[in-house]
Structure 1
Amino acid sequence: MFGAIRHQIRKSSTSAAIRNDWTREQIGKIYHMPLIELVFRAATVHRQFHDPRKIQQCTLLSIKTGGCTEDCKYCSQSSRYSTGVKASRLMKVEDIMEKAHIAKAKGSTRFCMGSAWRDLNGRTRTFKNILEVIKQVRALNMEVCVTLGMLDEHQAKDLKDAGLTAYNHNLDTSPEYYPKIISTRSYDERLNTIDNIRKAGIKVCSGGILGLGEKEQDRIGLIHSLANMPSHPESVPINALVPIPGTPIGDMVKKPVGFHSFLRAIATARICMPKTIIRFSAGRTQFSETEQVMAFMAGANSVFTGEKMLTTPSVTWDQDSQLFHKWGFHNLESFEYDEGAEEPNFTLPPKNRFRPDHAEALKAARPQLEAQGLAM
């Protein structure tokens, strides 16, 4: 029944077009619609291209924490600020894979890894270990995404050959506001890395952070930059700033971004980038359950869930399991959505969140799960 309704919507005169020629004025008019109308239009577009019952669970692991030389004014991992985050070496391959097994067993279908450094230059052995991890995570039939700083074309190709699904490289904010947030890496350098990712055939994951002290025109400018890329990012994470004491912005910001502003950004991104997976990312813990569901209605269809998000709090797997059950959501499986098809390649939702083919992953992860009191 739902499939027939979705087909009728896709054939209707209101069907959204995939565009890469948005003006800021056009995006601004969308962003400033009456909120109830904006959410309705975003929800309509969402249903044209996605199953609104499906939300992907992703887990983000910091595989190399702290000691970064960049000066991102919001980041707890910069060596320039006193935030209490200690610099560490790259995690061992077996330790990373233990976390990946736990994530899969608990329901995550995309495993993301982040490292705190500017780029991969001079990190030959480290890069080889990361390539090995990528191969092993893909062997679990999970999507795998990494964020490793700036990349050249050769590094991007090596990541592609290892089986990398996607590379995260956020723009953070508008081109105009960006210099007030970061001085050690330019906006053009970020765009150049994204070009190298795309040339290698890796899916682009790129979004931004709300609550950095930016104005509404900067949020519009961020969406404008993303929506006018040669092809829309496969996924766009939208983060609500988690203020970290000791960082310039963490000390400056007195209150988190309001939910209405966050909702406007989600809905506008959905309308401007209809096929993109909109990832409701950092800061989700500051929003109520009802507010989170409102964001899903407006087009967000991915969340980060697990023990933590790099160095900040995360909604747990058990909390999301309860939310999914209560509101009728189901997990978007790894590689379930084929963005190249004219019609989305949806499958029926599984009857159980924990599937039989997760048994092997759970068995491997059981010692760690039992140690943390998480065994099922």
Structure 2
Amino acid sequence: MRIVHVTQPVEAGVAAVVLELAVAQRELGWRVDVACPPGWLADRLRELRVAVHDWPASRSPGPATVAETARLRRLLAALDPDAVHLHSSKAGLAGRLALRGTRPTLFQPHLWSFQTARGALRRASVAWERYAARWTDQLVCVSDDELRAGRDLGITTPAEVVCNGVDTSALRPRSRVAARVRLGLPDAPTAVCVGRVAPLKGQDQLLAAWPSVLARVPGARLVLVGDGPMRARWEASAGHPSVRWWGHHAAVADFYTAADVVVLPSRAEGMALVPLEAMASGRTVVAFDVGGVRQSVGDAGAVVPAGDVPALADAVATRLADPLLAADEGLTGRRRAEVLFDSVRVGDQVATLVEKLVGCGR
């Protein structure tokens, strides 16, 4: 079996999923190639001796998409794979235009493009996804919410839900005090938010909630891990000493361990990895009710209405003020991660889909 993964995002959640799948499939004895732009993902794949092919591509569609598609078409023709797995909307656009049904094709949106677009761009995104269904042999959705969003807009491609997963052997409950010592954090009630600092990830909503949290838990601390286009503006407007802007950090396990509560204030998601990683680390989660969150978190924390800043503040403060509640939800989360969201299970599910698809094609 030879499979090619194509992705535009090369950091954060999508990149982590691609990395896990590539390594798992290579361990099955498959020949695995990954086409992506330069960045963290390409570097990690090379360290692990997975074949990487440079595919320069921007995040958004535009005039350059024509050249990106032509380059990808040549690359896929040279590699001659049994199946192609496209990750994210941009890879889904260029990959399906390049292949046009000539090879078994899996498409995994990791959050539909039309869920974050507005106006004419949203209408164009919906029209494209309906049209491109003819060149999609297998749609892979990371949550029931993501599948429902596609079905509601008439995208009828054969589909399976394969929830995201995490390595529950690497991410485990560990000493909170020791993690804080390693990071140089004070031993105080601590909320942690991990993610790219951008409007979609909603750190501004968490910052708006934070004064209410401090009013109930005066000694609380907030640690924001990540970088992105909005960091400078949001950091300048929320310069409270209780807020620590950590910036990008490649290894986030210590931050989960150091937390009393992990917060996901996103405006939209497919199924975010952050809650899964937090649960695997035995930490409670507070999140807005966006795509995949209720399915992943369950009763391992609090899921509040999307955009309801006062509800977010109340849920965070309640858990910072009640360590027993937070610890109990953390134990529940660990069990959920082990049973439902282990990366081995995810790799097996995707491998089965690919084998079935290629078998039918042959």
Q: TM-score, normalised by structure 2?
A: 0.30
Greater helix content: 2
